[in-house]
Structure 1
Amino acid sequence: MATHVSPGGFLALCHAAICGILFASLIFTFFAAKVETRPGPLSAYGLLSAFLLGSTVCSLIYSDALNVETYFLAFSAHSLIVRGAFIAWIYYLLALTNFRIRRPAYFMFAFEFVRTILTVMYLETPHFLEIHDIERIAGPFGDTFTRAQSSPTALHNVVLLSSILHGIYMIIAIRDLRRQSDRRLSTSLEFAFVAVITLIAIDNIKDAFGIEAVYVSEFGLPIVVLALSSSLMDWIGAGQRARVSLVEREAHFDRVLDSISEGVISTDLSLRIKRMNAVAEELLPPSSPPDPLLEESIKLYNPIDGRPATWSSLIDGEDALVIYKGKNRCIFSIAGRTVRSPSNEPFGFVFVFRDITERKREEDMIRRDEKLRALGELSRGVSHDFNNYLAAIRASTDLLERKADDGAIRRRLIQHIKEAVEQASSLTRRLLPFGREEDARSYEELSGNYLIHETAPLIQTLVGNQITLEIVLGATHDRILGDLHELQSALMNLAKNAADAMPNGGTLSLTTMDARLEGERPALLIEVRDTGSGIEAARIERIFEPYFTTKPPTEGSGFGLPSVHRVISRHGGQIEVQSQLGEGTSFRLILPALATKPSSTKPKQESEENS
């Protein structure tokens, strides 16, 4: 053992200064972690500083040790504490890359775990060096320090392998940071990475060749860790900038939502409100709790019968429903959509709705005007038929006055009068659909063949004698659930359009036949076909749009065919359109049929049931 020479104190002063700076790093990390919402890198940096603080203290002890036992104990503790520092180093890089480079990190954790086990198993050879003796050697500034006379063991190659693996891991981390376009952070880390690899390599080479000198890593590693504080500050600054940017985007998003005239509500999967714009907030009760349930906060009602409706029924669908603003009854068009994550997992819903109360009023007024216009046209033909019935009644009464004594003639004339009265009464009953409000409908079981049979006389009167009306009742499964008057009104609209397309006369055919809906469900098909001018292919896609019409403004409002589409949709049916310019147009109304026994193609006389 070398004789003791009192140290000059420079190395001890360096160790003490490093310990003080590392302790200051720990204090900074503690307070920064309390305000940072992502404490991962801060925690790793704090652990790294703590382990290096412990290793520096051990370095201070064995650098001034006066016997082999003290040196051995401090050097062994140093070898174990440095293992914890390297593990914290791996975790620090993993946290900086937002835990994306997991597989390389897990491999490094496993390697360091094995190396730690080996270190514990071979404590008699700390850092895989066999210590023979200690001696005091001269330092770089005229002072002295203690160093061991040692030789590397066979396991010392593990140390060299560790240096290589840590270098590879650092390269992977830098590449990942550059892919994030975080050039500032990756650049600040590059110097530290190169310095760490260089210092460890120097010490490993020195140990391999048995060179007794100051361990540069004792001072280099803590200094490198302090240099990492710049990368940590860059990381904290980037996080702060990201939070400010997020707050600005949130504020911009709120302004955009509030500028939208439609109401927007976002909910979670349990329909608990998470976000809404100003239009939607107007519908909430004044004393609503935070994050209220949508079903309980904003009530929906069916506009037809006033029954309550549910928001859940609107998910991935659309409907017009009533919402009350105070005492005011408002109709909203509401559409709901499922919000999905990038992995296509649903995590909420969004509902968009707009107030269509005024539009509904306008549409109702236009429909009433159309109905009155159709009634006016129909009344001209009806008045002619009604005058015929009145003329027959008058002729019979005149003849009855002259033949009052003949009982047989009198009975026959009275029968003619009754028949004329019954026919006139039947004619007035067929006009009832034009006097009913659309919302006053009631669905009941009826025959599609009977529907055509009852509507045909009205259609013939509406289109005039210059158009030939053909009726083909071929359906056997013609029982449907619907509103007779609504369906008659839809057929009258189609007939009126057909008549307009045949100003010089033609043929209008009404045909019923059996059909199938999706899922092979039985259906009734009603085809309305004309031999008119046809519709251009470019216009067929728009004929069911409100306000769209091919007629002059004084002749069409664009609500006839949308009304037909609305009626058929309410009955759960579909409409198919085929048209050829110069040859005519075919509207095929497909309605769900009831699962009943086939009916005769000859319609039953159900007029008495509907009188």
Structure 2
Amino acid sequence: MEKIDYRQYPILFVDDEEENLDIFSIHFKDTFTIYTATSGPDGLELLDREFVALVISDQRMAGMTGMEFLQEVNKGHPEIVTMLVTAYSDLDVLVDGVNTGTLYSYILKPWEVKDLKIALKRGIEHYYLVSERDRLHREQIETLKKMSRANRLSAVGTLAAGIAHEIRNPLVSIQTFLEMVPQKLSELRVTDPARLDQEFWEKFYSLSFNEIQRIRTLISELVNFSQPTPPDLITENISRVIEPILDLTRKEADKRGIEISYHADPDIPLIHIDVSKIKQVLLNLILNAFQAMPEGGEVRIIARSVHPRGQARTVQVVVQDNGQGIPEEIKEQLFDPFFTTQDPGEGIGLGLTICHQIMEEHGGEIEIKNRHGQGAEAILNFPAVKEGKAKG
């Protein structure tokens, strides 16, 4: 096993006697990062604020006992390693704790510094190994999902390219014939004006031409999906991408009775992006949010710097709405090609698929989920440039 920096995996010691907390800190502060609390409730409150890898608690405390406290730790933070300090008289409690999985280990009083230090190191090593195992397992599952998705998209892309080609050829002929209509109408107006229903033909021509343009747009979407171009990456401040989109969509938002706002963290890192492609992603997500609120509402866009423990820093862009949220039964289909919840004729269901495709090209991720309370949010994660900050 690789060498572990034990200070990177903090320990919380809970005891209702201040003297015991001080002794523990004095003996172990040079080897470990130590937090202390004088009661179970205080310990639980700290766990909600701070990252902790191992919790060690005295058993006999006023109010909540050590075992009761560790049971609550297991409920809210099952990944944390738990240890109990107790006396021989509490043997039944220890056996029950180990058998039920509440305890990783226990320490009998009075403890020796050398023995407890070894136990704490073993506990952190256990946390590290389990965390690495879980991380690798998640990565394997994600890799298999990506491979399956890539194979599926490749097949769909080939089909889409073929469909686009087959539609484009007859469409050119139809458009050519349609473009002859105005000339023929002019001739008819001169030679036999009585036979000319001008209002009908003008409406017919306008509707037909608009439908052809819609088909051409759909063909373009199919081609872009089946033959994506590599991103043309530049180093950019995400705010310089988002703010023009706000100006572009504000009129539509006002018309729909929607308030749209944007907030960015100060000194947010720069990112490598293809500006036009990311504008396409953001515009798609914002318009989707508009459609989720037919009675009006609020769209909030947030850009922030995120640095998960043990992972590289990312720039996260969140598009939130306060609509009805996403039905559970369709969550797994959101990024599938040709899946759409819109009415027939309103789209072919490639918008989110292309968004997912673009984010993968950028080495990033996209996630769409329901918010706590009301509405949904789309979350974009971009790898941050290692050096350099964006000045709003």
Decide which structure has the larger Cα Rg and report it: 1
Higher relative contact order (CA 8 A, sep 6+): 2
Could you say whether these structures have the same fold, taking a TM-score greater than 0.5 normalized by the shorter chain as the test? no
**Range into which the TM-score falls when normalised by the shorter chain:** 0.3 to 0.5
**TM-score, structure 1 length as denominator?**
0.28
